[in-house]
Structure formats: C-alpha cells, structure tokens
C-alpha cells in the first residue's frame, strides 16, 4: 500500500516514529530507556470528523515533530516502512 493513498479516519493521525540510536558512543541503552516517550513525524491527518460527525480542527499538521508514548497507536507497515495510527488526543505535544 502506498502511504499517499492512506487517509486516517476521524481524529486519527498517521505518524512515523523517529528511530533513536540503541547505542550512544560505547554505551548501549537499556530497554527501560526505550520505553520513554519518543519523537515522531506527522505524515497524514484524518478527515476531521469525530464519532458524532462533527467537524474537528486538528492542532497538529503534516510535517510537525511530535512526542508520543511508545505504546500508543496501532503499528502498520506501508511501502516497507513502519508507521503508527494514533488519535490526536494521544499526542503529548508538538516539538518546536
């Protein structure tokens, strides 16, 4: 499936997590460090409708760098790349 052919529904956002190095210098990061919130890039936005059919204005926009919890969202693979679909409310903040 092509990423440009995918549109999330309702208040969902397609993100791509930004990989962090597992090793910094000669120090390997423990698994606990990997469970902390992580950065992601917003790839696509939903159609802007909530479950009641009301219009929703997104706070985030395509291209924003955001902070998300490691375990939020549903992981999917498209074009051989890993993505996640999260609700906008699951995004903790925008990184300036």
As a whole number of angstroms, the distance between CA 47 and CA 55 comes to: 9
Query: What is the average pLDDT across 60-76?
Result: 93
Q: What is the pTM of this model?
A: 0.80
Q: What percent of the chain has pLDDT over 70?
A: 81
The residue extents of the domains of the chain are 3-95
Q: Which two tokens stand for residue 39?
A: 């950065």
Beta carbons of 20 and 34 less than 8 angstroms apart: yes
Pairwise CA distance, residues 69 & 59, whole Å: 18
For 34-51, write each residue's pLDDT tens digit.
556 789 999 999 988 877
Looking at the DSSP assignment, which residues form a beta bridge with residue 38?
A: 68
pLDDT, tens digit, 9 for 90 and up, residues 13-28: 999 998 766 655 676 6
Name the architecture of domain 3-95: Roll (2.30)
Is residue 71 predicted with pLDDT exceeding 80?
A: yes
The larger pLDDT score, comparing residue 35 to residue 74, is at 74
Reduce the secondary structure of 34-46 to three states and give it as a string.
HCCCEEEEEEEEC
Cα-Cα-Cα-Cα dihedral of 46, 67, 63, 45, to 10°? 0
């Amino acid at each position: 499936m092509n990423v440009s052919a995918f549109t999330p529904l309702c208040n969902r956002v397609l993100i791509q997590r930004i990989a962090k190095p597992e090793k910094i210098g000669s120090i390997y990061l423990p698994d606990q460090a990997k469970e902390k919130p992580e950065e992601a890039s917003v790839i696509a936005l939903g159609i802007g409708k909530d479950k009641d059919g009301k219009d929703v204005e997104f706070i985030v926009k395509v291209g924003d760098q955001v902070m998300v919890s490691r375990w939020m969202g549903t992981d999917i693979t498209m074009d051989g790349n890993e993505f996640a679909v999260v609700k906008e409310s699951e995004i903790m903040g925008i990184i300036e």
